Structure 1
Amino acid sequence: MNEHTNLLIIGAGPAGLAAALAAAPRAARIVLLDDNPLPGGQIWRDGPQAKLPNQAHRLREQVLACANVHWHSGTRVIANAGPNSLLVENAERGWQIHYERLILCTGARELLLPFPGWTLPGVTGAGGLQALIKGGMPVRDERIVIAGSGPLLLASAATAKANGARVLRIAEQASLAAVSGFAAQLPRWPHKLLQSFSLFDRQYRSASHVLAALGTDRLEGVRLQQHGQVVEIACDRLACGFGLIPNIQLGQALGCAVEQQALAVDAWQATSQPGVYAAGECTGFGGSERALVEGAIAGLSATGNRQAAQRLWRRRARWHAFARALNTAFALDPALKSLATADTLVCRCEDVPYAALAGHSDWRQAKLASRCGMGACQGRVCGAATTHLFGWQPSAPRPPFSPARIDTLLHLESDT
């Protein structure tokens, strides 16, 4: 049976939760859906070994207490089913949701760059390691190296140490000058300054990046370039992430304009498509504080409360300034584009090496010639990698956006 709602919110991270709470007083019916079992998104991911901040618990309880907010957990968007309608699916069924207004809070994912050995068992993303630990994966007494760029490295290390792991090294590719310059600005955001003290780790090294993961059948060690010298460290796990990139695929499929690899929005968080808003990290990475205020503005704007939304502009500007400082300090060194060798796999799903891609001029040509991006992840990993390596822009996804059951897809035909 199809579902109808005044406001549909895709994604229940900080932005989605804030949007639902802000919209609740004016919307007769709000549907909030996410593919995770509990609200919180990636940054507030719940699980057996997760320790959520009080703010996350409080916001989730407030939203779920609203009688007009209907929560769908473990639910994915499968296709655009026509004007103001999406086909969705959970573990039990598929159905269409018809909406009057839509807010995209689809978040971000890690940028994973290929390097020799990155497909070995024991190598994950930095955020991936954090999610696995929160989900219950034991890491007690394991030797872990964390590499890449951005504050997520420190957060991942803190989660690993809290669960008994031995973090041997945190390798940050940004220079000492860049990291120090960013740290010097943190007093402008006192909460972030206090947070940095709690996350500091004596194994942190700037101007350091991964060269290769070492091992035959699984990870045995890592080779790093550290301050111009090559060092090797024996370890059980390597977590390597080079920052975050916005999840824009659904927005692209709906025709929303993209700017600097993020969904473009105006002052009201409205996209280029009428009735479609976007908030949080799908509009650019900047932390949970930025996501919360953008979500609130989107929720207020979508329900016509522009006066209240405008009162939040100053707070949003403050966190946009933090995002600019963050992204400037941790901009990726161009040298990271040369990590992959000719035989390094770029597309893990279809076993496509770097050499098979280097001679092509764009994403479409490479995809047709090599099947890059045509595997299970549908280009979510290799598409972002090739954007960084070659400057290619993957085209908007075609439905189904995720693997789906036949009976779910039949809803499209029956509606027609």
Structure 2
Amino acid sequence: MPESRFDIAVVGAGPAGLAAAVTAAETGRSVVLVDAGEQPGGQYWRHPDESAPRGEESLGHHDWSIFTDFRARLHRLTGDGRIVHLPRRQVWFVERPAPGTRAHTLHLTTAHVEAARSGDETPRSVTADGLVLCPGGYDRQLPIPGWDLPGVMAAGGVQALLKGHRTLAGRRAVVAGTGPFLLPVATGLAAAGADVVAVCEAGSVSGWAKNPLAAAAVPAKAREAVEYATALAHHRIPYLQRTAITAIHGDDEVRSVELSRLDREGRIRDRTRRVDVDLVALGWGFTPSLELITATGAETRKDVDDSLVAVVDSEQRATAPGVYVAGEATGVGGALLAVAEGELAGLIAARDQRATVPQAPVQALQKRIARYRRFAAAMHAAHPVPRRWHEWLRPDTTVCRCEEVSFGQVCAARDELGAGDARSVKMMARPGMGWCQGRVCGFATAQLAAAQEGRELTADDLRPTAKQTFTAPISLEQLAEAPRDE
């Protein structure tokens, strides 16, 4: 049985987690890296099997050299026994430190059927004095009429198929929503051979003019924007601003979409045209995964993009003792920000355990993080979720796909049952009570509840979805087989 007690446990092997794990281990601390993926990289650096021919695995990726450097360091540190890497594992429960102690215990479950059947000797739980949480995030979705038809996918899911499996989700596509992430999805589809009929941006690039200094804080992003503009022109993909998909049509699958021009508040100004497609990629930014953060008792807050995020100090410490958070969970800001936060969290977690850590790299990372945070704030201001998106909905529009709850039922929960917040709507109409536990519909339901009351969205509207007793699915068989002392 491998060692199950460590100085530091890192959860997540994406940009933030990789950076945290190798940085902490290089200070001499013992580190365990727990990750649901088959191989390191997370969603951002998702790639085919590690045995793929050199060069092919990096297709469609940015900052690939940063990943390969971290991967090489991870392999070296794993070989030296300074990092224990546990892939295909998820944390299903976080046991907080007992009074007078500081050790967190993470209870693990298999993330893949193959892992469950492999019969390996991976421990059922690991214990560490320092806990660095880098859970990443997932696509934020808004319901629109027809979004539950086959052929409608999250933009991140479309890109994951391309990056991880070289698979096209459709042949004639439209990419819509808001934010810079629409661009790599559209150009990736086009480069793979799809006919991308348009990129529909609900906002406007003129929004960047609100904060030009922050927008210029990361010059590499401006270069990326030029690259994407060139690729769009090369593939003759129209970039339609203040335009959204407001209805999706089809019987058993997507056949066409309705494109509408929007005003600054997101109201439909006029319906422009109907376009035949077989793939709709929708992306409204990202929502952090906060189940692990709330499981530790750490505090959360609402960020500038209306996401619920972890509260951290200038050294990535959460408000729960011995807990550090890095990456999207502190606020969506991209891979470079996540890497910097991960490195800082790894250094501080090691320093808090009496490792020798010079102050110069800490200060340099803090300055870099501040610069990236300013850029992220400018990005969110330039590409907000349209304020009046709920006016696109019809009474029969599905809001919660798991429980088949319609927009009309959500409205009835308010009008007939007095539900004035997201928690009450969930209790009365059941959105968020299905398999995904609100991960898909939670943000939209919270926004709908606030909009119907004529008030701003609050952190309290968002917290019910983030808090889960079990942070990952676990079978009754696994629970029954757990030793009595667990």
Q: Counterparts of 2:48 and 2:240 in 1: how far apart (Å)?
A: 30
Give the C-alpha shift of residue 306 in structure 1: 6.4
Gap runs ≥5 in structure 2: 50-55, 98-103, 117-121, 263-268, 303-307, 352-356, 450-456
Q: Counterparts of 2:95 and 2:383 in 1: how far apart (Å)?
A: 39
Partner SS for 1:414: coil
Are 1:409 and 2:479 an aligned pair?
A: yes
Are 1:89 and 2:97 an aligned pair?
A: no
Q: Counterparts of 1:405 and 1:3 in 2: how far apart (Å)?
A: 22
- Of 257, 263, 267, which aligns to 1:222? 257
How big is each residue's C-alpha offset from its partner over 1:333-368, in whole Å with a ceiling of 9 and x where there is no partner?
A: 212132222111111111111122221222332223
Give the C-alpha shift of residue 377 in structure 1: 0.9
Q: Counterparts of 2:228 and 2:210 in 1: how far apart (Å)?
A: 17
Residues 129-144 of structure 1 mapped to structure 2, 5 A cutoff: 129-136=158-165, 138-139=167-168, 142-144=171-173
Partner SS for 2:106: strand
Residues 3-14 of structure 1 mapped to structure 2, 5 A cutoff: 3-14=4-15
Give the corresponding residue for 1:237.
279
Q: Counterparts of 1:172 and 1:409 in 2: how far apart (Å)?
A: 46
Residue identity matched to 1:109: Y
- Of 59, 71, 77, which aligns to 2:70? 59
Residues 66-145 of structure 1 mapped to structure 2, 5 A cutoff: 66=77, 67=80, 68-83=82-97, 84-90=104-110, 91-92=115-116, 95-136=124-165, 138-139=167-168, 142-145=171-174
Q: Counterparts of 2:299 and 2:387 in 1: how far apart (Å)?
A: 27
Give the C-alpha shift of residue 140 in structure 1: 8.6
Give the corresponding residue for 1:397.
467
Residues 12-411 of structure 1 mapped to structure 2, 5 A cutoff: 12-47=13-48, 51=59, 52=61, 53-66=64-77, 67=80, 68-83=82-97, 84-90=104-110, 91-92=115-116, 95-136=124-165, 138-139=167-168, 142-178=171-207, 186-200=215-229, 201-202=232-233, 203-226=238-261, 228-230=269-271, 231-260=273-302, 261-304=308-351, 305=357, 307=359, 308-358=361-411, 359=414, 360-390=419-449, 391=457, 392-395=461-464, 396-410=466-480
Partner SS for 1:233: strand
Q: Counterparts of 1:17 and 1:140 in 2: how far apart (Å)?
A: 29
Give the C-alpha shift of residue 376 in structure 1: 1.3
Residue identity matched to 1:87: H
Give the C-alpha shift of residue 58 in structure 1: 2.1
Identity of aligned residues (%): 33
Q: TM-score, structure 1 length as denominator?
A: 0.94
Partner SS for 1:268: coil
Q: Is the 8 A contact 1:87 1:412 kept in 2?
A: no
Q: Is the 8 A contact 2:398 2:406 kept in 1?
A: yes
How big is each residue's C-alpha offset from its partner over 1:51-97, in whole Å with a ceiling of 9 and x where there is no partner?
A: 24222222212122212111111111111234211111123277111
Q: Is the 8 A contact 1:95 1:411 kept in 2?
A: no
Q: Counterparts of 2:365 and 2:481 in 1: how far apart (Å)?
A: 40
Residue identity matched to 1:241: G
Q: Is the 8 A contact 1:140 1:164 kept in 2?
A: no
Q: Is the 8 A contact 2:316 2:344 kept in 1?
A: yes
Q: Is the 8 A contact 1:172 1:205 kept in 2?
A: yes
The worse-fitting range, judged by mean Cα deviation, of 24-33 and 317-326 is 24-33
Partner SS for 1:65: helix
Partner SS for 2:199: strand
How big is each residue's C-alpha offset from its partner over 1:274-296, in whole Å with a ceiling of 9 and x where there is no partner?
A: 00000011100111111111111
The worse-fitting range, judged by mean Cα deviation, of 353-362 and 119-128 is 353-362
Residue identity matched to 1:292: V
Gap runs ≥5 in structure 1: none
Q: Is the 8 A contact 1:81 1:412 kept in 2?
A: no
How big is each residue's C-alpha offset from its partner over 1:126-170, in whole Å with a ceiling of 9 and x where there is no partner?
A: 111101222326329811100001111001112211211111100
Residue identity matched to 2:328: E
Q: Is the 8 A contact 2:217 2:372 kept in 1?
A: no
Give the C-alpha shift of residue 184 in structure 1: 8.7
Give the C-alpha shift of residue 176 in structure 1: 4.4
Q: Is the 8 A contact 1:294 1:316 kept in 2?
A: yes
Q: Is the 8 A contact 2:25 2:83 kept in 1?
A: yes
Partner SS for 1:303: helix
Q: Counterparts of 1:367 and 1:373 in 2: how far apart (Å)?
A: 6
- Check 1:86–1:411 CA distance in 2 against 1; reply closer, same or farther (3 A cut): farther
Q: Is the 8 A contact 2:135 2:290 kept in 1?
A: yes
Residue identity matched to 1:85: T
Give the C-alpha shift of residue 411 in structure 1: 6.3
Give the C-alpha shift of residue 324 in structure 1: 1.2
Residue identity matched to 1:196: A
- Check 1:373–1:140 CA distance in 2 against 1; reply closer, same or farther (3 A cut): closer
Q: Is the 8 A contact 2:130 2:349 kept in 1?
A: yes
How big is each residue's C-alpha offset from its partner over 1:26-75, in whole Å with a ceiling of 9 and x where there is no partner?
A: 24321111111111111111126752422222221212221211111111
Q: TM-score, structure 2 length as denominator?
A: 0.81
Give the C-alpha shift of residue 414 in structure 1: 1.5
Mark the structure with the bigger radius of gyration: 2
